[in-house]
Amino acid sequence: MGLKHLHIQSGKLDIAECELGNFLRNKVHSLQSYASDKHTKLEVKIEFNYTSVWFDQSKISFVIEKFITNAIDHAKPETNITLLISLNHEYWEIKTPHPDNDKLTKIYKTNRHWLHRHKKELECKSAKDLLFNKLTQLCNGKITMNQENHTISLKFPVKCSQETASKHTAIRIAKNFEDEKIDILFQGTSKKRCSDKPVIVIVDSNDDFRSYLEMCLSEDYIINSFKDGSQALTNIKEEHPDLVICDTELRGMSGDELSSRLKTSCDTSIIPIILYGSPIDMNQDYKRNASLADTFLYMPFDIENLKIEISVLIKNYRFLRKSFLQKIFGEKFLETDIEEMPEEDNYQLINKVKKFILDNLDNESLKISHIASETGMSRTKFFTKWKSLTGEAPIEFMTRIRMEKARELLESRKYRIQEIPEMVGLKDVKNFRNKYKKHFGIAPSETLRNI
């Protein structure tokens, strides 16, 4: 017996959240060729747009496929089989018709237990397939036969009674000085978080699906949603969310263009982006590459997998922000023990100095006095204030930025080692090599070899 067969027969359920409409459409689509070979036409009517249910996909898939293939196998040639999918607050069901003379009724045994006092519906099970019966029971499902409407239904609870731990871990952002300092530096404002939940922007022109994603994620995240790509871009640049989830097809601006603009902007390039789209779009591979998105999901995707991706990307995003600031400002910058948060003016000063150095990075004659003049302070006052804010001298900060930029240029493989010193304001190649080795512990040539 194969491993897959052993898995579906096991008594353990691996329950995960799933969007039911897309799951069933995909399942019916996979059986279309089978129906065609049997000279039948398979159609599906779903009475809802988007909804979440919880079940073990590997086990319930076997039951659903068997239920539908039974209907196909026992239908008369040239028959149209219409599957009606419906749900209420407790159960969802797949219903298929069975005429009085249909062979389909013969493969299901009734236990003569009437489910209603009007004696219209009987509970039944497969007469031959023991695995089908076992998995239906394991997933808390039931098969019923309606004598009045001449239909057979496969029913499952919206939430399976057997609970399992979720595969994703909800992220909470601690309110401490270090994290608030990182937030403010990346957002360019002293506005603090109003919640310990991360902020996610959802962009989708389909109102129903956007609302569905909001419903699925709002318990663990603060959600800002948009139907227009241009409006979303403006909000993201102003608010700096922790993550963006976006469809490729949008109003105002395509999702891949929105993603590309965010990823090629210095202010927003570090924000993680999840892009999703249809697998049948012929240009999807191009859009995926052009978007520069961190993750690309094909529709329909599993909600539990989406939550895992979100959790991983936000954790990485927060780690990268901290790592970046430590590389640029030094370890002492985030470790500096300050009793109160510095005033907004101080953060504006830090960002202004960083931008001024980056804008003049190729200027070898750039001095501390030039930076002080840009900030409207004397050299001595600027030096003292900077040291109190960051824990290091301004010249060390300038050198750090030059070295980090040099490594970035080396790792891009677009330039020779001899070209880079002038680009970071150190025209003497020997001096550049010495400073680079002192900063990173290895020579520039070793960095190239390690890529």
Higher pLDDT, 181 or 81: 81
List pLDDT tens digits, range 7-59.
445 567 878 888 899 899 989 999 999 999 999 999 999 998 888 898 888 88
List pLDDT tens digits, range 269-279.
889 999 998 77
Closest CA to 425 of 397, 444, 408, 402: 402
Q: What are the two backbone dihedrals, phi and then psi, of residue 184, each rounded to the nearest 5 degrees?
A: -65, -40
24-49: string of b/e by CB count within 10 Å (b at 16+)?
A: beebbeebeeebeebebebebebeee
Longest dimension (CA), the chain: 98
Higher pLDDT, 32 or 134: 32
Least confidently predicted of 85-89, 300-304, 425-429: 300-304
List pLDDT tens digits, range 324-380.
666 666 555 545 544 444 455 666 787 788 889 888 988 989 999 999 999 889 999
Higher pLDDT, 410 or 118: 410
pLDDT, average across residues 98-114: 65
Where is 244: in which H helix or E strand?
strand 243-247
pLDDT, average across residues 64-73: 91
pLDDT > 90 in the chain, percent: 27
Output the pTM of the full model: 0.61
Per-residue confidence (pLDDT) for residue 8, from 0 to 100: 47
Report the alpha-carbon distance of residue 256 to residue 277 in Å, rounded.
10
Q: Which residues pair with 159 in a beta bridge?
A: 54
Per-residue confidence (pLDDT) for residue 384, from 0 to 100: 86
Per-residue confidence (pLDDT) for residue 179, from 0 to 100: 66
Is pLDDT above 60 for 311?
yes
Per-residue confidence (pLDDT) for residue 161, from 0 to 100: 62
Report the alpha-carbon distance of residue 325 to residue 329 in Å, rounded.
6
pLDDT, average across residues 149-166: 76
Rg of the chain taking only CA atoms, in angstroms: 30
Domains of the chain: 3-157 (3.30.565.10), 177-318 (3.40.50.2300), 342-450 (1.10.10.60)
Least confidently predicted of 73-77, 184-188, 297-301: 184-188
List pLDDT tens digits, range 378-432.
999 988 888 877 777 889 888 888 888 888 888 888 888 899 999 999 888 899 9
Q: Where does the pLDDT of residue 4 fall: very low under 50, low under 70, confident under 90, or very high at 90 and above?
A: very low
Give the dihedral sign, CA 355/357/360/366: positive
